[in-house]
């Protein structure tokens, strides 16, 4: 049996004892072989069908989720983003039924979560791992015992617990920390323990609740790299919530933008980043954009000065569509040469160039037709705008 075959076992078998002796070998196999992406091309890991959630609070009813309908492809990394209170946690927690929807259905690998009895739910939760912003480790237990806990609760034999935990700690790079207590670990190491623990029962889905929000940027990168690795090597569907667009840009395939409990935007990450439609998406993307630096802003004039030398400040935007990338030779030709790069940058998201360049054009009297330069096969950018004039 291949590793991926074990990992993709249908959830209809939720009442079986999940952990089997072949699982360790399966994990080992799956660690060395990448799972072909096409295997998951049509499968759906989670299907939300008209999901609504209303909390009753002393201040009245809170409509946290409203008519959420979407599918999360199996084997993908799916990001959920939104401002504080948008409903991210509520939605994520309906997947393992930590929250019950008030209306609608959540279908996990074909199983209607709302129909499961308690025993089935316990078994199913072993197939859905979860990691948390504050790690939720047991401080009195060692790293080994934290990771072993879900296996022991599931009745796994000690020899197998030993073997599996050893493998998992090697997988997350903590092979030398078996007997250390969490208080002696860094934040990133604690999250690695959390990830190992979440993977202990060989889940098909990993839920990440602001998993990097308490970490510094460098540690965030290493945890995101680990999550990407787990997704690719083990074929586990990763569903993460975050309030940071940079996290989405780094690892997600698709992104859902929630706003006041509703779907504001949903799509491939490069498309949503390249052409954000909703005000909430634009606001979330703002910190990542190369806005006008203050010193340039202060010198910017709406009209060219009547006399003397000046520069025209141009903004060129790249949305990722059609394979169009900044080509400085063509840009210089289009504007007649005398250009300098003032500010900006381009990111590659899922192979698409996305970003913004601010260029200062010197000594120009007549500009070319900007809308023509942003159209058709000869386009030099997706959008070109004159921001003003700098003396």
Ligand X SMILES: Nc1ncnc2c1ncn2[C@@H]1O[C@H](COP(=O)(O)OP(=O)(O)OP(=O)(O)O)[C@@H](O)[C@H]1O
- Residues at the site binding ligand X, with contacts judged by CB under 6 A: 55, 57, 62, 64, 82, 84-90, 243
Nearer to ligand X, 82 or 276 (CB): 82
Strand-pairing partners, residue 76, are none
The one-character DSSP state at 145 is H
**55 neighbors 64 (Cβ within 8 angstroms):** yes
Nearer to ligand X, 160 or 244 (CB): 244
Our CA angle for 279, 316, 272, nearest 5°, is 35
Residue 291: strand, helix, or coil: coil
Smallest gap from Cβ 198 to ligand X, in A, equals 19
Smallest Cα–Cα separation from 318: which of 270, 286, 284, 367? 270
Nearer to ligand X, 25 or 260 (CB): 260
Pairing outcome for strands 77-82 and 103-108: unpaired
Smallest gap from Cβ 102 to ligand X, in A, equals 12
Smallest gap from Cβ 285 to ligand X, in A, equals 17
Nearer to ligand X, 82 or 274 (CB): 82
Instruction: Give the C-alpha distances (Å, rounded to integers) separating 291 from 46, 120, 140, 201, 269.
Output: 37, 51, 48, 46, 21
Nearer to ligand X, 123 or 252 (CB): 252
Smallest gap from Cβ 286 to ligand X, in A, equals 17
**16 neighbors 50 (Cβ within 8 angstroms):** no
d(CA 359, CA 365): 16
Nearer to ligand X, 3 or 82 (CB): 82
Smallest gap from Cβ 280 to ligand X, in A, equals 11
Instruction: Give the C-alpha distances (Å, rounded to integers) separating 287 from 281, 292, 338, 382.
Output: 11, 12, 30, 21
Nearer to ligand X, 85 or 304 (CB): 85
Nearer to ligand X, 5 or 61 (CB): 61
Smallest gap from Cβ 112 to ligand X, in A, equals 22
**51 neighbors 91 (Cβ within 8 angstroms):** yes
E-state strands within 17-160: 44-57, 60-73, 77-82, 103-108, 111-112, 128-132
Residue owning tokens 């203050």: 294
Smallest gap from Cβ 216 to ligand X, in A, equals 20
Smallest gap from Cβ 62 to ligand X, in A, equals 4
Pairing outcome for strands 237-242 and 77-82: parallel
Could you tell me the two tokens for 222?
């290493």
Smallest gap from Cβ 241 to ligand X, in A, equals 6
d(CA 339, CA 332): 7
Nearer to ligand X, 4 or 212 (CB): 212
Decide: residue 349, CB within 10 A, 0-12 exposed, 13-18 middle, 19+ buried.
buried
Could you tell me the two tokens for 65?
């989720």
Nearer to ligand X, 93 or 178 (CB): 93
Smallest gap from Cβ 210 to ligand X, in A, equals 7
Pairing outcome for strands 205-209 and 128-132: parallel
């Amino acid at each position: 049996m291949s590793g991926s075959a074990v990992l993709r076992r249908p959830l209809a078998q939720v009442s079986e004892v999940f952990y089997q002796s072949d699982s360790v070998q399966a994990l080992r196999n799956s660690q060395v072989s990448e799972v072909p992406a096409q295997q998951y091309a049509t499968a759906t890991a989670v299907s939300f069908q008209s999901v609504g959630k209303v909390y009753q609070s002393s201040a009245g009813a809170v409509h946290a989720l409203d008519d959420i309908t979407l599918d999360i492809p199996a084997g993908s990394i799916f990001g959920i983003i939104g401002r504080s209170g948008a409903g991210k946690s509520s939605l994520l927690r309906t997947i393992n039924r930590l929250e019950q929807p008030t209306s609608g259905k959540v279908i996990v690998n074909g199983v209607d979560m709302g129909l499961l009895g308690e025993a089935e739910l316990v078994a199913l939760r072993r197939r859905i791992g979860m990691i948390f912003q504050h790690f939720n480790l047991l401080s009195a237990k060692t790293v080994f015992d934290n990771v072993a806990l879900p296996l022991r609760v599931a009745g796994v034999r000690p020899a197998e617990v030993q073997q599996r935990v050893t493998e998992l700690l090697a997988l997350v790079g903590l092979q030398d920390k078996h007997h250390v207590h969490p208080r002696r670990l860094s934040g990133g190491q604690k999250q690695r323990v959390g990830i190992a623990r979440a993977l202990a029962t060989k889940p098909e889905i990993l839920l990440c609740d602001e998993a990097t929000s308490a970490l510094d940027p460098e540690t965030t990168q290493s945890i995101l790299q680990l999550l990407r690795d787990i997704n690719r090597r083990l074929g586990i569907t990763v569903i993460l919530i975050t309030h940071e667009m940079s996290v989405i840009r780094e690892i997600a395939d698709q992104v859902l933008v929630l706003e006041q409990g509703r779907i504001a935007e949903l799509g491939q990450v490069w498309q949503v980043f390249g052409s954000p439609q909703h005000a909430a998406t634009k606001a979330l993307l703002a910190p990542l954009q190369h806005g006008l630096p203050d010193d340039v802003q202060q010198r910017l004039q709406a009209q060219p000065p009547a006399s003397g030398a000046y520069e025209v400040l141009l903004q060129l935007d790249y949305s990722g569509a059609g394979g169009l990338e900044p080509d400085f030779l063509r840009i210089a030709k289009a504007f007649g040469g005398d250009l300098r790069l003032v500010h900006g940058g381009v990111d590659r998201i899922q192979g698409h160039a996305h970003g913004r360049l601010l260029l200062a054009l010197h000594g120009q009297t007549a500009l070319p037709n900007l809308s023509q330069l942003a159209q058709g096969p000869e386009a030099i950018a997706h959008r070109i705008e004159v921001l003003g004039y700098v003396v």
